[in-house]
Amino acid sequence: MSVPEPPPARPPTWGSHPAGPAGTDGPGAGPWSPALAVTCASAACLVLLVVGVLAARPDVAVLGAAPLVLAVRALRGRPSGASTARFETGDDDDPDALGRAGRLRATLVVEGPGPWAAVTTTRQGRTGADVLVRVDGTRRLTVVARTVRTGPQEVASADVQGVGPDGASVAEPTPTVTRSTVVLPATTPLLDLPLPTRLRGLTGPHESRRPGEGGGLRDVHPWVPGDRLRRIDWRVTARRSPDLRELYVRREHAQAEAVVMLVVDSRDDLGPDPRTWRGSVAPRAQDATSLDRARQAAASLARAYLERGDRVGLDDLGVRRRPVAPGGGRRQLDRIRHALALTAPEGEPTARLRPPRLPSGALVVVFSTFLDDESAAVAARWRTAGHRVVAVDVLPRLRTSGLYDRERLALRMMTLTREDRMAELADQDVELVTWRDQPAVALRVLARRARRHAGAGVPR
What's the CATH code of the domain at 129?
Answer: 2.60.40.10
> Can you tell me whether residue 388 is helix, strand or coil?
strand
Residue-wise DSSP of 281-327? SPPPTTS--HHHHHHHHHHHHHHHHHHTT-EEEEEESSS-S--EEEE
Distance CA(432)–CA(248), nearest Å, equals: 47
> Can you tell me whether residue 381 is helix, strand or coil?
helix
How large a percentage of the chain has pLDDT more than 70?
A: 81
Residue 17 lies in a domain: no
Average per-residue pLDDT for the chain: 79
pLDDT classification of 17: cutoffs 50, 70, 90:
very low
pLDDT classification of 126: cutoffs 50, 70, 90:
confident
pLDDT classification of 301: cutoffs 50, 70, 90:
very high
- Does residue 315 carry a pLDDT above 70? yes
CB distance 334 to 360 below 8 Å: no
Residue among 184, 190, 181, 160 nearest 85 (CA): 160
266 and 343 co-located in one domain: yes
pLDDT digit string, tens, across residues 53-75:
787 777 777 777 767 777 777 77
318 and 421 co-located in one domain: yes
Residue among 296, 237, 236 nearest 264 (CA): 296
Residue 143 lies in a domain: yes
Under 8 Å CB-to-CB from 305, ≥6 apart: which residues? Answer: 193, 258, 260, 311, 312
**Number of folded domains that form the chain:** 3
Please give the pLDDT value at position 217: 67
pLDDT digit string, tens, across residues 382-441:
999 889 999 999 999 998 888 889 989 999 999 999 999 999 999 999 999 999 888 889
Give the predicted TM-score (pTM) of the model.
0.74
What is the CB-side half-sphere exposure of residue 204 using CA atoms within 13 A?
Answer: 25
CATH code of the domain in which 344 resides = 3.40.50
The region of weakest confidence among 122-126, 137-141, 147-151, 310-314 is 122-126
pLDDT classification of 27: cutoffs 50, 70, 90:
very low
Under 8 Å CB-to-CB from 74, ≥6 apart: which residues? Answer: 38, 164, 165, 166, 168, 169
Please give the pLDDT value at position 110: 92
How large a percentage of the chain has pLDDT more than 90?
A: 29
Domain residues for the domain of 438 are 259-449
Q: Mark residue 56 as left, alpha or beta (left: phi above 0; alpha: psi -120 to 50; beta: remaining).
A: left
Please give the pLDDT value at position 59: 74
Residue 458 lies in a domain: no
CB distance 288 to 300 below 8 Å: no
Please give the pLDDT value at position 199: 73
273 and 352 co-located in one domain: yes
Please give the pLDDT value at position 205: 56
Q: Mark residue 95 as left, alpha or beta (left: phi above 0; alpha: psi -120 to 50; beta: remaining).
A: alpha
CB distance 397 to 435 below 8 Å: no
- Does residue 334 carry a pLDDT above 70? yes
pLDDT digit string, tens, across residues 194-237:
988 877 665 555 555 655 565 556 667 787 787 777 777 788 77
Alpha helices in 308-404 (DSSP H): 330-341, 373-384
212 and 344 co-located in one domain: no
250 and 268 co-located in one domain: no
Distance CA(301)–CA(324), nearest Å, equals: 15
Residue 277 lies in a domain: yes
Residue 18 is given by DSSP the state P
pLDDT classification of 337: cutoffs 50, 70, 90:
very high
176 and 211 co-located in one domain: no
For residue 86, the Cα-to-chain-centroid distance in whole angstroms is 25
Distance CA(301)–CA(427), nearest Å, equals: 25
> Can you tell me whether residue 189 is helix, strand or coil?
coil
Please give the pLDDT value at position 256: 62
Q: Which of 13-17, 274-278, 363-367 has the highest mean pLDDT?
A: 363-367
CB distance 129 to 121 below 8 Å: yes
pLDDT classification of 105: cutoffs 50, 70, 90:
confident
Q: Count the Cβ atoms, other than its own, within 10 Å of residue 187.
A: 20
Residue 55 lies in a domain: no
374 and 330 co-located in one domain: yes
CB distance 162 to 113 below 8 Å: yes
Residue 125 lies in a domain: yes
Residue 35 lies in a domain: no
271 and 403 co-located in one domain: yes
263 and 311 co-located in one domain: yes
pLDDT classification of 349: cutoffs 50, 70, 90:
low
Please give the pLDDT value at position 23: 35
Domain termination site, one of 147, 182, 217: 182
Distance CA(460)–CA(456), nearest Å, equals: 10
Q: Which of 16-30, 70-84, 202-216, 326-340 has the highest mean pLDDT?
A: 326-340
119 and 248 co-located in one domain: no
Residue 121 lies in a domain: yes
Please give the pLDDT value at position 218: 62
Using CB atoms within 10 A of its CB, is residue 327 exposed (0-12), middle (13-18) or buried (19+)? middle
Using CB atoms within 10 A of its CB, is residue 15 exposed (0-12), middle (13-18) or buried (19+)? buried
Please give the pLDDT value at position 35: 73
Residue-wise DSSP of 80-101? -S--EEEE-S-----HHHHHHH
Of residues 304 and 240, the one with the higher pLDDT is 304
Of residues 203 and 88, the one with the higher pLDDT is 88
